[in-house]
Amino acid sequence: MGDRISVSDLRKYKAAGKKIAALTAYDFYTSKILDRSDLDMILVGDSLGMVFQGKTTTIPVTVDQIIYHTKIVVDATARPLVVADMPFGSFQISTEKALENAFRIMKETGCNAIKIEGGERVVSVIEKLTESGIPVYGHLGLTPQSINEFGSYKLRAKNNEEAETLKRDAVLLEKAGVSGIVLEKIPAALAKEVSGSVTVPTIGIGAGPFCDGQVLVITDMLGFDPDLNFKFVRKYTDVNTIITEAVNEYINDVKKGTFPSDKESY
Ligand code: KIV
């Protein structure tokens, strides 16, 4: 295992006031790049259904797909904590089935923790997993697996009732033994309150600056999709333009006969 960052390291970050930087990843080359950076955590999110497979929701993602991508990410990295998502349908049937799926994901990929979306209704499952030695991250606020209940990907917990439920859920998740909680697309003031009410780190995505860490979907922050303009995503580069220009240059060179050159030939 060597020097891989652990869930307990990230709890210490919170105690020390040190922010956690996390990104998603699903493939070998990206994971290699992230491994050479100072990133603390890679989440193999079920967002892979949308940004890797081009589906409109995360619902179709399977345990086998999570295992496939997570194993690639784990094998490509030595340093960051690797967390795998429990996909829709993998933890709802029964606690036994949830345990079986979580054990499969841990054993077949070598990841360090799993993440489960939901509040009170997943508490008993999380208790069982954490009692069994599986580090678990919770996920509250906009939980994309609930898209068919929510009906949109809009900001969550705007009203008092939902905010109160979320605050209560965060405390319940901590009591159930989670190692941290992802807070997605909720008001910054609420995320601040939640972060102050639990001892485990909160990792925000669209949840403002007061969380103990931040996570973004890597393809969003790299600018793969020119049409994506979520308020909470800062695009750190414009990979769409970079790739488009490179591909067009290559096509021109091939058509003109200037690629390959003598130096590029045997
Ligand atoms: O699936 C995912 O990538 C996630 C992040 C957006 C937190 O759950």
How many angstroms does the Cα of residue 249 sit away from the middle of ligand 1? 34
Residue closest by Cα to atom 5 of ligand 1: 45
State in Å: Cα 122 to ligand 1 middle: 17
Q: How far apart are CA 210 and CA 191, in angstroms?
A: 7
Low-confidence ranges of the chain (pLDDT < 70): 1-2
Q: Of all protein residues, whose CA lies closest to atom 6 belonging to ligand 1?
A: 217
The pLDDT of residue 143 is 98
Domains of the chain, each with CATH number or no CATH: 7-235 (3.20.20.60), 238-266 (no CATH)
Q: What residues contact 160, with CB distance under 8 A and at least 6 apart?
A: none
What percent of the residues of the chain are helix, what percent strand, and what percent coil, each to the nearest 5?
A: 45, 15, 40
Residue 90 is classified by DSSP as S
Separation of alpha carbons 158 and 150, rounded Å: 13
